[in-house]
Amino acid sequence: MNQLEQLKQFTTIVADTGDFQAMKAFAPRDATTNPSLILKAVQKDEYRPLMEKAVRDHAGESTGDIIDRLLVAFGTEILKIIPGRVSTETDARLSFDTEGTIAKGRHLIGLYEAAGIARERVLIKIASTWEGIRAAEVLEKEGIRCNMTLLFSLPQAVACADAGVQLISPFVGRIYDWYKKSTGQEYTGAEDPGVQSVKRIYDYYRKFGYKTEVMGASFRNTSQIVELAGCDLLTISPELLQKLAETDAPVARKLSPEEAAASDLQKLTLDEKAFRLMLNEDAMGSEKLSEGIRLFCADAVKLEKLVEALKR
């Protein structure tokens, strides 16, 4: 078996792309999208008709509403290819707006249900700010499942699990990027700070009996992926899926509930003040969260400009 096939024995594979052809090629169970991936996709000839149709069919609506319909159109097409769930992101500009995020989550699910998609097949992606986590807590109680993104630290992960969210997406590659830039060192295998962060979160969840799923995300190389074999889910770009499929080196399970139970992690109790202080004390976590929100906000604005150009 190649590495991708071996990995599927321990971990659910998710495609981190808006590219339908890649999903057909690698047969993931689930798929994730974000503003950057959708922006990239709609600039390709094969996906531009989706955007044109959204604009044409809903010309009288606001640009924001048309973009919501575009996101759901992508998700609906993706769900024709994969057997599992698709993640659709809320507007990053709502990252510090609990009520706005709740309203957006409800609206997106409403659009999916109007298209005949059961809410169980959709994950609403929300930034792992305190406000975002509170919004997800409300949505989860309504049966709207959430995928908490832009997650870089243990306090974010603990707060998400305490809120009862369905799934979190800790960002391996961006953590690696920060430490590489900060220290000037290259990191490989189990020494990679991004890998260590996800392992710590996985161990914490399994040790203390949380049901929240852990989905490692944002990979820079296949070494990071192989080191997290056994994680609940891993969302992987088409380029790295291809590399895994072309390699037959052995893949061993690295994360397991048994090892997690033996870890020396202590339980954290977090209120808002403790959460904000712990996140602030983590220079990498607070910097990458802020940067990630800024980047997604910028791509949301670019997507709006593309839609507005078509509306003229």
Domains belonging to the chain, first-starting first, are: 3-311 (3.20.20.70)
The secondary element (H helix, E strand) that includes residue 289 is: helix 283-311
Name which of 120, 99, 100 is nearest 109 in CA terms.
120
Report pLDDT for 125: 98
Give one word for 224, left, alpha or beta, with left for phi > 0 and alpha for psi -120 to 50: alpha
How many whole angstroms separate alpha carbon 132 and alpha carbon 129?
5
User: At 122, phi and psi to the nearest 5?
Assistant: -125, 135
CB 153 within 8 A of CB 170: no
Cross-strand pairs, 233? 12, 215
Counting other chains too, the contacts that 60-63 makes at CB distance below 8 Å and 24 or more residues apart are: 63/304, 63/307, 63/308, 63/311
The one catalytic residue in 24, 80, 104, 125 is: 125
Report pLDDT for 35: 80
Which stretches in the chain have pLDDT values below 50?
none
| pTM for this model (two decimals) | 0.95
CB 28 within 8 A of CB 45: no
Mention every residue, 6+ apart, whose C-beta is less than 8 A from residue 278: 153, 154, 155, 270
How many whole angstroms separate alpha carbon 68 and alpha carbon 54?
9
Report pLDDT for 182: 97
Distances (CA, A) of 229 to 6, 107, 158, 234: 9, 35, 22, 9
Give the residue carrying structure tokens 């949380």: 210
CB 199 within 8 A of CB 189: no
At 191-201, the pLDDT tens digits run 999 999 999 99
Reported in sequence order, the residue ranges of 152-236 that DSSP labels E, i.e. its strands, are 167-170, 213-216, 233-236
Q: Could you confirm whether 80 is annotated as catalytic?
A: no
Report pLDDT for 33: 86
Residue 47 tokens read as 């996906």
For residues 56-66, one letter each, b for 16 or more C-beta atoms within 10 angstroms of the residue's C-beta and e for the rest, the string is: eeeeeeebeeb
How many whole angstroms separate alpha carbon 223 and alpha carbon 226?
5
